[in-house]
Amino acid sequence: MSKVRREITRKLRILQHAEETGDVSKTCRYFGVGRSSFYRWQTAYRKHGDAGLVNRPPIPKWHANRTPVEIEEKVLHLRSKHHLGPMRIVWYLARYHGIKISDATVSRMLKRNGVNRLPRGTRLRKVHMGRPGGWTGEGCFLTRRPRRLGLHCILDTWLFHVPLNVLDEMAAKDPNVIRYISQILLLNSDMLVHVVHDLQIPQAERRIAAILWRTAFHGNQAVPLSQEEIGAMSNTSRKQVNAALRKFAELGWLTASYRQVTVENAAALNAFAKEED
């Protein structure tokens, strides 16, 4: 006897026992089955006979409420092309495509397609929030080597690109261009010194305050930063970041919501970061 036939025979015996005794509860207790299962089998048997007692796959291959294929394709493109995480993908789709989707859904898509982990060497680590009007990549003009830092936009951004050959033409016409580019390089080097200095602040709360103060360069708007990313930028744990955000919010210095921060009082954060015991 096949496994399918044995299962049908077992269910028929249970249904017949209930019919003979006239007591469904007693039958369910005797055979160790739930009443909901019994009535489901009974209804299926009345409609389809023995075929209705065959076990069906518990989950269909495609859910009626599963995310449309075109949205899943956009998610996979953003992951493979730009190496965005689930929350960044959610933010990007909502802002530029008007698509509302949860980060949990995105995470399931990535896992289902085997791209929930980024390839080695592609994971981004934030170290600084750039200022509006800032320059980057100017070192390539002076050293003729590829830039070492990457740019990752988390807000609406206008990028003005000056090709290397154009800079060469400008410098050929006016040698002062080299001096101007060198000054920009020095300004960015000075900024990196401040970043390193902030990481050397002994108190975790003040390191976090210094990082959050730099996000105020973007004005009074929500900046999509998770606790994990703030912790990476300030060399603190998520628990320390969570406690600091709660404290700063109670003081009215910022507003924190799910994976985003809005600085309300940048001066207070800066003063707190520079305090000394």
Say how far apart CA 85 and CA 70 lie, in whole Å: 19
Asked if residue 77 belongs to a domain, the reply is yes
What is the tens place of the pLDDT at every residue in 240-260? 999 999 999 999 999 888 778
Do residues 170 and 233 share a domain? no
**Domain end among 166, 198, 230:** 198
pTM assigned to the model:
0.51
244, amino acid identity: A
Residue-wise pLDDT tens digits, 114-164: 888 877 665 555 666 666 677 777 888 888 776 666 666 656 677 788 888
pLDDT at 62 over 60: no
Please, where are the H alpha helices in 115-274? 138-143, 164-173, 176-199, 204-215, 227-234, 238-250, 266-274
Structural domain of 157: 138-198
Are 147 and 105 members of one domain? no
Q: Does residue 63 form part of some domain?
A: no
- The pLDDT tens digits of the residues spanning 180-235 come to 989 888 888 887 788 888 888 889 999 999 988 887 765 666 777 788 888 888 88
